[in-house]
Amino acid sequence: MLEDPTRKARLALASGSPRRLALLQQIGIEPDALLPADLDETPGRNESPRKLAARLALEKAQAGAQVARARTDLSPCYVVGADTVVCVGRRILPKCETLDEAEDCLRLLSGRAHRVYTGVTVIDPQGRDRSRLVEARLRFKRLSSREISAYLTSREWAGKAGGYAIQGLAGGFVVKLVGSYSAVVGLPLYETRALLDGLGFPSDAAWAAGASA
Task: Classify residue 3: in a domain, yes or no.
Answer: no
Which residue, among 184, 182, 133, 131, has the nearest Cα to 27 in the 3D structure?
A: 182
Name the residue range of residue 166's domain.
10-212
Task: Classify residue 71: in a domain, yes or no.
Answer: yes
Which are the catalytic amino acids?
Answer: 83
Task: Classify residue 75: in a domain, yes or no.
Answer: yes
**What pLDDT tens digit does each residue of the chain (213 aa) get?**
344 544 688 999 999 999 999 999 999 999 999 999 889 889 999 999 999 999 999 999 999 999 999 999 998 999 999 999 999 999 999 999 999 999 999 999 999 999 999 999 999 999 999 999 999 999 999 999 999 999 999 999 999 999 999 999 999 999 999 999 999 999 999 999 999 999 999 888 878 765 544
Task: Classify residue 66: in a domain, yes or no.
Answer: yes
Task: Classify residue 112: in a domain, yes or no.
Answer: yes
Answer for the pair 68, 33: CB distance below 8 angstroms, yes or no. Answer: yes
Give the C-alpha separation, 186 to 19, whole Å: 7
Task: Classify residue 1: in a domain, yes or no.
Answer: no
Amino acid at 93: L
Q: What angle do CA 150, 156, 160 make, to 5 degrees?
A: 130
Task: Classify residue 16: in a domain, yes or no.
Answer: yes
Q: Residue 131 belongs to a domain with what CATH number?
A: 3.90.950.10
Task: Classify residue 5: in a domain, yes or no.
Answer: no
Q: How many domains in the chain? A: 1
